[in-house]
Structure 1
Amino acid sequence: MVALTLTRKLAILADAAKYDASCASSGSEKRNSAGTKGIGSTEGSGICHSYAPDGRCISLLKLLLTNFCIYDCAYCINRSSSNVQRARFSVEEVVRLTLDFYRRNYIEGLFLSSGIIKSPDHTMEEMIRVARTLRETHLFAGYIHLKVIPNAAPELLTEAGRWADRLSTNIELPTDSALESFAPEKRPSEIRTAMARLRGKLDEAAPEKKQARAKKAKFAPAGQSTQMIVGADGANDAAILTRAAGLYSGYQLKRVYYSAFSPIPDASSRLPLKPPPLMREHRLYQADWLIRFYGFDVPEIVAGGEGGDLDLVIDPKLAWALKHRQSFPVDVNRADRELLLRVPGLGINAVNRIVASRRHHRLRLDDVARLTASIEKVRPFIAAADWSPGGLTDDAKLRQKLAPPPEQLVLF
């Protein structure tokens, strides 16, 4: 076998890592390695390859430790039966790359996952060694996200949380039956057990309401996340969102990431030949936001969709509003915050500004326009001191008027 150069390994293993979407760098704190100021920064919030709410991009070096794997998951390009070029980093090589990339100001942290080599415990130990070496030997204070191997020993999960800012355990497919069919070596119960153990450790490390005398040791301060592949099996959006809601409530996840299935070479005939529409992934993220921050339940979000799927033409909040026109218009000067959050075009910040401003004077339509960037979308669904939509709310062509251009992607 010809030895691969570090550059070639990087090309192979960075490309192999692109299928994992659960690469976030939000919600962490600046670390103090070994009680001294180290290198790296996690200040601010953001998601790898995307922009934070404040407009900044947080860049992470995103790698697999190896794409060798003893498992044969049908949907994975790195499965044991796949005919792909294999590569494997040593712990020292990942540490060196992370520090070199950071010193060149290319990255602010590391996202590290891996195929399963030898055993789950061995793989987890190797990833932990990377994080521990960065923290202890090099005083690296940047962001570290480690992928959890579900059936690794509990003490290894505990140590991973000591060195990492975030941990993620991929649920992978929306239903247990699909995972058992496509990934027979994996056990849904083991994935949930790992998540439960992480939640227990996170609860233990959480600060108490009253300031404790002894400072608790940090454990994955940015919490845990997971990823679900969309479109590899026959699960509809209702099933996907129901699983996500259960994960949020049961394991206090920070995020569920949705990754559109990407067809792979030499794939099983049981897998689809084409990826799902990218818009489907986008709509799932919008629906996820409604569940977490806007007070919506899964049944009301997917009610009326074809076969339990979300509408791909309009966003889920607008789809709900058009099906519940009897709930509108909403009076911006009287309605409670929960009802305002259901108005299409009003985000959380806009609602907060409306509630604060109406304490001082009655709001007119122009006032609302200054508080939101989507007044054309809002107008048919609100009443203000000088505005009533009249029959506009019931306009049969309202859906067509408010549908965005096909190429336009917006949150709400």
Structure 2
Amino acid sequence: MDLNRKIAILADAAKYDASCASSGSDSRDSLGGRGIGSTEGMGICHSYAPDGRCISLLKLLLTNHCQYDCLYCVNRSSSNVARARFRVEEVVDLTLDFYRRNCIEGLFLSSGIIKSPDHTMEQVVEVARRLREAHDFRGYIHLKTIPDASAELLARAGRYADRLSINIEMPTEQGLQALAPEKNGGAIRRSMGRLKLHIDQAREEGAKPAPVRALPGAAPRAATPPRFAPAGQSTQMIVGADASDDRSILASSAALYGQYRMRRVYYSAFSPIPDASQALPLTAPPLMREHRLYQADWLMRFYGFEHREIIAADDGLLRLDVDPKLAWAQAHPERFPVDLNAAPRELLVRVPGLGVGSVDKLLQARRVRRLRAEDLRALRVSPGKVLPFVCVDGHRPGATVRAAPVPHQQALFA
């Protein structure tokens, strides 16, 4: 098959996987002629990293042939779609060519299951190995791992990749058995556990490098710490393909973050596919539901919320009309107003309209003097969102707020 046709098929087939981002990788660069590629810098933006950076990735499937017949997957074995398969050297050459033309910053590679999980994983790892060892490629590499592949192959993958991911697919074991009976939730979690163990061991070794024997008379040198997926592991859940509510989705995410130290859980709204099974919904869930799940996930990761307290509705669903933080505040009027001049950080971050950065600036500023309502404008937050939930000098909820600027308020938050 013509290479351009392969790219068209396999790049399109990879678009359903959202679990790719480059945040957290270790620093490698190509300064001084030491290899090619870099995990830093900007390019054509194809994706956003968790820390907000725009990154460009060549996102491909090695093949969309697959032995599995997961009902929600457009590449399932019974799907009537065009099929293609890259050779290992073709993916390597494409990655280097796109990078040299400044089109990408790295590679995201996944694959359908061909012959066996081990055979597929060997091919995926070989792409990364050749890029690193044969071409000294120092850009970002994210590999999608096969849960049923051997532990040795998973260990090899981590030596070459910045990030590894294994898709959990469904938030519950019941949903996975119903829609992807050939996949094993226990095997997926065991593979996640192996990856966590390798990542933790590499970080511990990196924190305490062991001395190595040096030449007589020379100062001892530190051993190079082992490298294993420095950007951690991520996963993806499909939203709306089964009857799982948002409460069960967030509970599953909380378990993944707690047990496997997952770097990121991605949520992908189910999209109806051609020749779909009758077991699948006929229409896609609202994209706002996916957006609200990401917001709720952010509250768990950075704002100290427990997954159990985010959703109060009896139906177990997040409200679509307001964001989860505002919905929580409206459901707990007894927690407000919060005194901006006295409240601890863990209460301030729960105020609608205040982000983590804004709260940190508030805490720094109130060491200098007492805060006033007008100071919120210098933080570039919306007073209309914040003021109904706080009390501050010159304002209590329901009172009229004076608009006169405070002298040097911009310098206060600089």
- State whether TM-score is above 0.5: yes
Distance of aligned partners of 1:47 and 1:188 in 2 relative to their CA distance in 1, 3 Å threshold = farther
1:270 aligned partner: 279
1:182-221 correspondence to structure 2 within 5 Å: 182-207=179-204, 211-213=208-210, 214-221=223-230
Contact 2:373–2:394 (CA under 8 A) maintained in structure 1: yes
1:169 aligned partner: 166
Contact 2:296–2:310 (CA under 8 A) maintained in structure 1: yes
Which whole-Å deviations, capped at 9, do the CAs of 1:256-288 have from their partners, x for residues lacking one?
Answer: 000000101111101001110000000000000
Contact 1:382–1:388 (CA under 8 A) maintained in structure 2: yes
2:25 equivalent to 1:25: no
Distance of aligned partners of 1:378 and 1:147 in 2 relative to their CA distance in 1, 3 Å threshold = same
From 115, 119, 142, the counterpart of 1:118: 115
2:39 match: secondary structure: coil
From 312, 325, 330, the counterpart of 1:317: 325
1:70 aligned partner: 67
Letter in 1 for 2:289: R
Measured in 1, the distance between the counterparts of 2:45 and 2:287 equals 18
Letter in 2 for 1:258: Y
Count of matched residue positions in the alignment of Structure 1 and Structure 2:
387
Contact 1:224–1:254 (CA under 8 A) maintained in structure 2: yes
2:152 match: secondary structure: helix
1:95 match: secondary structure: helix
Contact 1:46–1:56 (CA under 8 A) maintained in structure 2: no
Letter in 1 for 2:276: A
From 152, 177, 180, the counterpart of 2:177: 180
Measured in 1, the distance between the counterparts of 2:92 and 2:206 equals 38
Which whole-Å deviations, capped at 9, do the CAs of 1:231-257 have from their partners, x for residues lacking one?
Answer: 000000000000000000000000000
Distance of aligned partners of 1:166 and 1:184 in 2 relative to their CA distance in 1, 3 Å threshold = same
1:127 aligned partner: 124
Q: How many Å apart are 1:48 and its aligned residue? A: 7.0
Q: How many Å apart are 1:54 and its aligned residue? A: 7.7
Name whichever of 79-88 and 382-391 sits farther off.
382-391
Measured in 2, the distance between the counterparts of 1:222 and 1:360 equals 38
2:133 aligned partner: 136
Contact 2:162–2:231 (CA under 8 A) maintained in structure 1: yes
Letter in 1 for 2:351: V
1:24-103 correspondence to structure 2 within 5 Å: 24-31=21-28, 37-43=34-40, 49-51=46-48, 56-103=53-100
Contact 1:75–1:271 (CA under 8 A) maintained in structure 2: yes
1:110 match: secondary structure: strand
Q: How many Å apart are 1:122 and its aligned residue? A: 0.4
Measured in 1, the distance between the counterparts of 2:330 and 2:306 equals 17
Q: How many Å apart are 1:391 and its aligned residue? A: 7.2
Letter in 1 for 2:225: K
Percent identical: 66
2:356 aligned partner: 348
2:386 aligned partner: 378
Contact 1:70–1:80 (CA under 8 A) maintained in structure 2: yes
2:59 match: secondary structure: strand
Distance of aligned partners of 1:183 and 1:106 in 2 relative to their CA distance in 1, 3 Å threshold = same
Q: How many Å apart are 1:212 and its aligned residue? A: 2.9
Measured in 2, the distance between the counterparts of 1:273 and 1:382 equals 45
Q: How many Å apart are 1:31 and its aligned residue? A: 2.9
Letter in 2 for 1:161: G
1:307 match: secondary structure: coil
2:249 aligned partner: 240
2:323 equivalent to 1:335: no
Contact 2:206–2:225 (CA under 8 A) maintained in structure 1: no
1:398 aligned partner: none
Q: How many Å apart are 1:375 and its aligned residue? A: 2.0
Contact 1:145–1:164 (CA under 8 A) maintained in structure 2: yes
TM-score between both structures, scaled by the size of structure 2: 0.90
Which whole-Å deviations, capped at 9, do the CAs of 1:158-196 have from their partners, x for residues lacking one?
Answer: 000000000000000111011111111110000000000
2:268 match: secondary structure: strand
Highest CA radius of gyration, 1 or 2?
A: 2
1:108 aligned partner: 105
Measured in 1, the distance between the counterparts of 2:207 and 2:254 equals 30
Which whole-Å deviations, capped at 9, do the CAs of 1:207-234 have from their partners, x for residues lacking one?
Answer: 4696432442110000000000000000
Letter in 1 for 2:338: V
Letter in 2 for 1:160: A
1:198 match: secondary structure: helix
Measured in 1, the distance between the counterparts of 2:224 and 2:180 equals 42
Distance of aligned partners of 1:88 and 1:52 in 2 relative to their CA distance in 1, 3 Å threshold = closer
Letter in 2 for 1:8: R
Measured in 1, the distance between the counterparts of 2:108 and 2:345 equals 38
2:316 aligned partner: 308
Measured in 2, the distance between the counterparts of 1:47 and 1:317 equals 33
Q: How many Å apart are 1:368 and its aligned residue? A: 2.2
Which whole-Å deviations, capped at 9, do the CAs of 1:2-49 have from their partners, x for residues lacking one?
Answer: xx100000000000000000011111123379x972111112699973
Letter in 1 for 2:77: S
Contact 1:301–1:316 (CA under 8 A) maintained in structure 2: yes
Contact 2:65–2:113 (CA under 8 A) maintained in structure 1: yes
Measured in 1, the distance between the counterparts of 2:206 and 2:144 equals 30
Which whole-Å deviations, capped at 9, do the CAs of 1:37-86 have from their partners, x for residues lacking one?
Answer: 21111126999734458864210000000000011111111111111110
2:232 aligned partner: 223
Measured in 2, the distance between the counterparts of 1:385 and 1:335 equals 14
2:219 aligned partner: none
1:406 aligned partner: none
Q: Which ranges of structure 1 fall in alignment gaps of 5 or more residues?
A: 393-412
Q: Please, what is the CA RMSD of the aligned residues?
A: 2.0
Measured in 2, the distance between the counterparts of 1:54 and 1:149 equals 27
Measured in 2, the distance between the counterparts of 1:173 and 1:343 equals 32
Q: Which ranges of structure 2 fall in alignment gaps of 5 or more residues?
A: 211-222, 401-414
Contact 2:23–2:50 (CA under 8 A) maintained in structure 1: no
